[in-house]
Structure 1
Amino acid sequence: MIVGSLQESPDPTPAGAFPDPSNLTLDNYVAIDERIDLLQGLLNSGIFTGGVLLGTVVFGVLAGYALAVLHWRGRGVTFALALLVQVVPFQLLMIPLYVLIARDYGLADSYLGMILPFAINSTAVIVFRQYFLQLPRELFDSAAVDGAGELRTLWSVALPLVRPVVLTVVLLTFIGPWNEFLWPFLITKEQSMQPLAVSLANYISNVAASAANPFGAVLAGAVVLAVPAVVLFIVFQRYFRTTNIGSGVKG
């Protein structure tokens, strides 16, 4: 993909997978940036994805902790509903959600309208619940004896022990909204607010054929879209390991 984005003339042969110094150029990046503004698209993607990540982690941790540690009536039913949500495809809910967000809430052409349907991720809730269930109960009992409330226990005792899974949820959640183009396209037609994935989809369907090298320009946009996800994985990959939660218990 990187080699193709740098080619002045497309080379569809197997040899085209390897860089040819005589056929390398940055004009493809310039061409697509002139059409869709890559930096603005990246900023919009960052706002959309950052809002989704914040909601996913905050609500996922709170709900997962409540389902795993706290005892309250209806906990089993709530967990069953969280599992049931997994079998409902998002595409089935898209039209009702659009009517709710755009017409009832009046959040069309807004970042909040793009973020709100993804703010709570049932998969993240289930993952956090399962990891919180693995923590020794003695840790929470000791915190209660010391006078810590539930929020203090969650922040000071539980979260440090499941930090790798928090980072894993962040990375896995990041990929979805970062590559999402259908829902933001429905919510806003303002090009200045559209994430990069939406701008690329519009470019491919509308104006790519008018570029000097449509193949290279599309690949250049794809490279820009992929780089943040690759960098995020490289930075946090060392944290994706099992935490030795048993070491927190004496004896």
Structure 2
Amino acid sequence: MNRGVSVLRYLVLGVGALAFLFPFYMVVGSLQESPDPTPSGAFPDPSNLTLDNYADIDGRIDLVQGLVNSGIFTGGVILGTVVFGVLAGYALAVLQWRGRGATFALALLVQVVPFQLLMIPLYVLIARDYGLADSYLGMILPFAINSTAVIVFRQYFLQLPRELFDAAAVDGAGDLRTLWSVALPLVRPVVLTVVLVTFIGPWNEFLWPFLITKEQSMQPLAVSLANYISNIQASAANPFGAVLAGAVVLAAPAVVLFIVFQRYFRSTNVGSGVKG
């Protein structure tokens, strides 16, 4: 019985390991001159490797411009998420004001409202009333405030010892000075975590940029790749390889970001900021 359980466990782990190797298969497929759907195609064959797929997809949708658009869209969302998340989280955790509990309850309630339910009203508001179609601001605005980030920052600010804020008040520091000089340095790992987690959403976002942008020069890379697949894929010499090449370019910045900053996924010892 134990042997059967061990065999089943290793079988499940083996299947999971193969699934997590999919990015490797994606890179290999993007470099193949002709697609190889057999299992042996998962391993690089030097005679079948080429960079033509990257050149082909770049010539059709402009990978650099798509990356720039994705970067501006994602950067704006991250900036709004961090700034508004820190300010709102600090206000909900530290400041005393009437309606604080009700506001936090509303922030929790927003979590259960799907974005798809608000998409049409948002499109009418931003594209027709504000005239922000085909603009970076029009893409960024619906995602600029993230209620999840507000809740996360609030919870971490609540963990900070109250003595820190009392000492800052005694020294004459205002609320913004206390936030900037006392609270924010202690939750810096949380800020980096929020940045990394937030990055994935807008970087891979397709539906809203697809609705709000019609000009190809303004579309993020995810939208450009989708248009390529639906419109001009059939005319490519190796459409499968070209699509995988675009997917590799789209995934590469996210992979590099997580590799570089993964060491910051650590909690900080805020208790060391209080003298015994």
State the TM-score, normalizing by the size of structure 1.
0.99
Matches within 5 A, 1:211-226: 211-226=236-251
Q: Which residue of 2 aligns with 1:154?
A: 179
Q: TM-score, normalised by structure 2?
A: 0.90
Render the CA deviation track for 1:46-81: whole Å, top value 9, x for unaligned: 111111011000000000000000010000000000
Task: Please state how far the C-alpha of 1:16 moved relative to its aligned partner.
Answer: 1.1
Partner-residue secondary structure (3-state), 1:201: helix
- Taking the aligned partners of 1:138 and 1:247, their CA distance within structure 2 comes to 12
Aligned partners of 2:76 and 2:263: how far apart in 1? 25
Deviation, 1:102, is 0.6
Unaligned runs of 5+ in 2: 1-25
In 2, Cα distance between the equivalents of 1:230 and 1:83? 30
Q: Distance in 2 between matches of 1:121 and 1:87?
A: 13
Give the whole-Å Cα distance in 2 for the aligned partners of 1:30 and 1:61.
42
1:242 CA drift (Å): 1.1
Q: Per-residue deviation at 1:109? A: 1.2
* Percent sequence identity over aligned pairs: 93
Counterpart-to-counterpart distance in 2, 1:221 and 1:168 = 27
Q: C-alpha distance in 2, partners of 1:18/1:157?
A: 53
Q: What RMSD, in angstroms, separates the aligned Cα atoms of the two structures? A: 0.6
Q: What secondary structure does 1:152 align onto?
A: helix
Higher-Rg structure is 2
Give the Å deviation of 1:96: 0.7
Shift of 1:14: 1.4
Counterpart CA distance in 2 for 1:246 and 1:209 is 61
Structure 1: give runs of 5+ residues left out of the alignment: none
Query: Alpha-carbon deviation of 1:188?
Result: 1.2
Deviations 1:173-223 (A, max 9, x none): 110000011111111100001000100010011111211111100000000
> CA separation in 2, counterparts of 1:92 and 1:224?
31
Residue 234 of structure 1: CA displacement?
1.0
How many residue pairs get matched? 251
**2: CA distance, partners of 1:165 / 1:9:** 45
Shift of 1:17: 1.1
* In structure 2, distance between residues paired with 1:233 and 1:156: 27
CA positional deviation for 1:158 = 0.6
- CA displacement, residues 119-138 of structure 1 (integer Å, 9 cap, x when unaligned): 00000000000000000000
**Equivalents in 2 of 1:24, 1:48: separation in Å?**
33
> How far is 1:41 from its partner?
0.4
Tell me by how many angstroms 1:111 deviates.
Answer: 0.7
List, as ranges, runs of 4+ consecutive aligned residues in structure 1 with deviation greater than 4 Å: none
User: How far did 1:13 drift?
Assistant: 1.3
Deviations 1:19-64 (A, max 9, x none): 1101100000000000000000000001111110110000000000
CA distance in 1, matches of 2:90, 2:39: 52
In structure 1, distance between residues paired with 2:104 and 2:74: 26
* Corresponding position of 2:221: 196
